[in-house]
Structure 1
């Protein structure tokens, strides 16, 4: 199915694009209304967006062809209001749409000069953890009055179906997460159908973007400041309890629900605080916040691990434990830190799980619809997303 209004039960993988969790809708009724027909674009319309949808007055089968007679695939939205092509239409091209006995011919706009790129750190054919949000970034801010229009063109399909919603962190970044952690084995097919979409003013989306990904097993890390331990579970079964050391009083670690953002076998950590500077290569790193909190090997603090906090905000553990954990985890695995007394700052990392579902829904630009039945939805060509920005590692 496809999701509407930034939220949906997501099922069925056709193709998708790089960031969206909305769906195109239910399959058309086999019995079309005699009065149903096309209401937009108007016959003879020119300068039509290449992100246009065929607006309908009722349930009816739609066909769309270009000037050479090549058929364009598509599917209706769940509410039947429009029919959505599965790929961006071509610039400067004449199309003919037919529905309910009515035929409409229109011509798309020429390629605009002011294009806004859309990207995601997710990559095609990768396996992610159960807490992985769909992260979408735009290279220029979208005015708030355009957020709903953009969100409506973000499509996600998941199999099996799971309810989810978008959250706008700013005009340049929005995320999508399900109501509960993704189910193990979920197949995701995502389409950012923003190519040719007006972003307000004279700015337009540069291109559609699509991603396919899979969700791995549920691996959860829970760090308790009271016991100075991390408990690692897989599918709710304890694998290991690891002695750790968190941030010292002057550099406390954050408490909250985090997600593994990135991983590396080694990184250069640099601290520049007067009297507390360092420049150290650190191994088996897993980033949790943009502010520089990581899980990593810290052989220098093994004597403190399980006893007291001595780090610069990171989760220290022995090299043996850090390497073991690094070998198990995936980007997108959830990490919960409890009892440090310092609340995780919203937006400092993938903080999507650090707010209740009811609060998260408020970040969508579209109303939260009731979950709908599975359906077919638009798809698009595959494309990989861009890497995410990150500050230089600093905490240890």
Structure 2
């Protein structure tokens, strides 16, 4: 008999009733150190007082009016995002998946309105994840994402991650309009695109008149120690997908774009009932006020260096369990020799939460507010989990 909640998740056998910073408290009172942060969503941890105040104050005033009217908090958040990024304009969504849908529409509409309607193909890469909508799964293209859901939305050219020759050839096609890439793949196993490769993508897009789209749903909003991950490379995209951390736990996303890239999106071409609502934008403004502060980002970088150093030591201590550390900032992955889900499960017994990913990787995506003491506790708990797994391997 099918359960009342559609059984599309393999859930861990516990539930949480309260969150405090980097900690989640289960209904039996156990305190878990949360290195998943709701899959990079709770960028400022659980129940951050500034976010609680922003949401509570707004909830007592006004929840929803729709985009038929002016929404001052939405305008304020758009102004902040434009001021802090490459973008000239922003559209607000409820999720990364919705941001993907608009990014795809925006790129194709740009070329349609520019008199090049045959330019509809978007280049994407193996290991990518762009959400679970029809466009999102078609963009990723993997069997795991697409099997049973055909016919798939056409217009995506799938290339192997790192195949420069195939990329050069594909970009020259007269039907290609854009390149879509995650500066750091999340679901694909914490795989950063090297800075020189991001620069190469920008050069390639410019050489062929393509739009460059960055999916920073998971790697953005301070996660890598810059406000957005692509900033490390010194180049900018034409369109960027944002979500997860921007709402700090409240459903909120955005598409940021240059004026040129967004030129086709005129009145009536796109919309959202809830996107940019007063509640979401009140929280998003509070998030931006904290994370966009250079002093805050400097602390993220310091803590990221500390965590990575300690993780390298952990890998060296358990050579039969771990292979190495990868990633950037506080978006780190442990490449495993043992089965990654076994290590995640062993972590549960040590009251620590991590997130599995492809390529046999464990993702470590803690709140950006994690403390040095909590980093030390995380290493101790991961060490105990690894020792349990190593014992079973022996």
TM-score normalised according to structure 2 size: 0.24
Higher helix share: 2
Higher strand share: 1
Of structures 1 and 2, the larger Rg is shown by: 1
TM-score normalised according to structure 1 size: 0.24
